[in-house]
Structure 1
Amino acid sequence: MQKSRRHLIATLVVTCTALTVAGCAAASIPADERVGAHADDTTVSVGPPSGESAEVGGHTVSTADGYAADGAPISEIADTPAIANLDADLRHAVARATEAAAADGVEVRINSGWRSRAYQQALLDQGVEEHGSLEEARRWVNTPERSTHVQGRAVDVGAIDAAVWMQEHGRQFGLCQTYENESWHYELATTAGGECPPMRRDSSADRGSAGGMKAFHLAPDAVQPPGREAGGMESSTKHTIATLLLCAAIVAVTATALIAMSPVP
């Protein structure tokens, strides 16, 4: 009788431990890492909402190509391909800059972000129509092979007051105007607070390179993306540690209580 009771207690301890650990493991996984969450390196392709398609340079482009009829703050269009397909560090830097600009009373709107190769080619064809030659169009529109928009490494901001604010404060977030003739075009071209590299005359100067400026990634002590605390540790990591410690305490208390129920031999 006593032996069977001990066997029952041992079984309950093992079962309780297994269930607690399993539940804690699931709870400790950050929401954005669970199955079905969007990954930063996944290209988003969604159908265009009503009215979100247009004829550009003789081509039909849509939201799925990164097209947007009107600019908007990054937080309002975060789930669209134009924003979701941007480099993650660029996205975070623009979001932080937008918040800082708002504190100064300036609204930063994203007029263009990531673009598909087809959309970029449509813009180039339209540029040829407007400027009369490929050579002149290349001063304003890059080729799909060299465009940093296609690479997800550039945004065009508006309106004029936002462009002026970015010229003055953008480098605090690593954001730099990269072409002299495009006050709206920004890339993550330096570290937060660093010096921006010299601007190129226009996009035609990219012919001998891969296009755009060297891409930078945020250092741990640079401008922090959402979810990262000033101390450098991801808030999700702290949540995981706290959850596991709590679960360990639950297991210990449960085991102690069950053992205490066992009769003294």
Structure 2
Amino acid sequence: MKRTGLLTAILLMASLFPVMAQTQGPKTKVIAHRGAWKNTGAPQNSIASLQEAIKLGCFGSEFDVHLSADSVLVLSHDHVIQGVDIEKATAAQLAAVKLSNGESLPTLEAFLKEGLKQSKTRLVLEIKASKVSKERSLALTTKAVQMVKALKGQALVDYISFDYDVCKRVKALDPSAKVAYLNGEKSPEQLAEDGLYGLDYHQSVLKKNENWIKEAQQKNLTVNTWTINQREMMDWMLERNVDFITTDEPEQLLNILKSGR
């Protein structure tokens, strides 16, 4: 009876192994930089590029948020879009800006409402530091966190910023928020001390400070890196088991992960 029971247990484990392998999946996750735009024709930082990232099955889709002159939150990578200075323009003026697909310049509210229709792809909100003042950067931060809370998006929205004071303000406003720092000069030890979720550094920073990858993970910090578009650098980061790779080529990276490299 004992031998029969042992054999049954072995057969059961063997039958479960493929399922376990499928659910575990690759460690490194794909973040679409400004959405999936490069190979789809969708404009960067658009609702369309978010939808494409969701269709691809990206773990996350990154986007950039600014504050208009009349305190409305809008999406754009640059401070000036189509000749319009976002921080000096009103929401009405910015609504007149049309992206290449005819989409209006998205407000954060419209973008979040679209993103929160699903629960698979995380929304990685970059708070862009103001060119005008630190106070405006912090005002943008407060409004962004408040909007995420108002739309009940805390479980799906992560935050990143090049401004360390912004990162700390997000944590003060929402202690449960996942916040990563972008600029690259802070050690994992300092990030951990300040309660951040992780580091999100340019590839050159991690190449120069390779030990930070393991050090961060030992301190339960996540490691993201940007913007990785070349196969050689993707492989380098994958070999070191970074948690996330931000890329303009999410299709390529997803294919690499699916093929097991």
TM-score (norm: length of structure 1): 0.26
TM-score (norm: length of structure 2): 0.26
Structure with greater strand percent: 2
